[in-house]
Amino acid sequence: MFKHSLNKLRITLGAAVRDLNYNVLYNWLLHLKSKPIEANKKSAIVFSPHQDDETIGCGGMIALKRSQGIPIKVVFLTDGRYGKPSDVKPENAVKFRQEEALTALNILGIEPSQTQFLDEIDGSLAQLTEPQQNLLIAKLVEILQSFEPQEVYVPHHHDRHPDHEATYSLVRTAIEVSRQQIELLQYPIWMLWRNPLSSHEYLHKNSHAYRLSISDFKEKKHQAIGAYKSQTPNLPSSFKQAMYSSYEMFFKD
């Protein structure tokens, strides 16, 4: 009984320390290290490894651009099958995650016709064989050439999640293959939370951070995040605070 209570206390204290580190790093980066950027009228594609990353990382930007009628497309690379709630059967998980995504994106102003699901297996992007990578890159090139975006948004290349980092690499390669002039912006999801201390060292050396004010669209982003009922209940408290910020952060190479 004592050991169980002690382990529980250690877990609680560990989470509290992680939350504190995250908050310090997030606010340092947001207020001291990032530069403000203005909203623009560039068309964009948001590439999201899972159903919810696009809203958490770019929901305010999406709503802002769509309010001005700017074309936005959202592409999901994996099917999100392992992010289902316990009461959803495995065979229904993919459909469930897609329905959540369509609901969230509708709130942000994205029509189903501008949403694409590539349905790679959740968790597989970093383990694709070379032929599988080439096939997926070819699909991404086709999407880029068809939509011709001026901006592309991807997870940060140091985001501490294999699918997220693989999404960055695959999309970056596709842009190079397409030979299009596209501005690449990276949005952080887990980078600052999974290992705050090492992230601080990394960002101190390599930070090119920018902050976009989304205060007028914060409520829409809140509503869209709420559509992901399978994802939000177990997120860390500090992570949620950043999700609901009046700013979104992006990084440029």
CB atoms under 10 Å from CB of 176, counted, come to: 12
What pLDDT, on the 0 to 100 scale, is given for residue 62?
Answer: 98
What's the token pair of residue 101?
């995504």
Beta bridge mates, 74: 46, 115
What pLDDT, on the 0 to 100 scale, is given for residue 18?
Answer: 67
CA nearest to 212, candidates 253, 249, 163: 249
Angle among Cα 84, 154, 83 to the nearest 5 degrees reads 5
Q: Is 44:86 a contact under the CB 8 Å cutoff?
A: no
pLDDT along the chain (253 residues), means of 10: 50 60 78 90 98 97 98 98 89 96 98 98 97 98 98 94 98 98 95 62 65 97 94 76 89 88
What pLDDT, on the 0 to 100 scale, is given for residue 237?
Answer: 73
Beta bridge mates, 194: none
What pLDDT, on the 0 to 100 scale, is given for residue 246?
Answer: 95
CB atoms under 10 Å from CB of 167, counted, come to: 29
What pLDDT, on the 0 to 100 scale, is given for residue 9?
Answer: 43
What pLDDT, on the 0 to 100 scale, is given for residue 231?
Answer: 85
154, exposed or middle or buried, with CB in 10 Å at 0-12, 13-18, 19+? buried
CA nearest to 105, candidates 223, 234, 237, 240: 223
pTM of the model: 0.90
200, exposed or middle or buried, with CB in 10 Å at 0-12, 13-18, 19+? middle
Residue matched to tokens 């995504």:
101
Q: Is 187:250 a contact under the CB 8 Å cutoff?
A: yes
What pLDDT, on the 0 to 100 scale, is given for residue 119?
Answer: 97
Domains of the chain, earliest start first: 1-251 (3.40.50.10320)
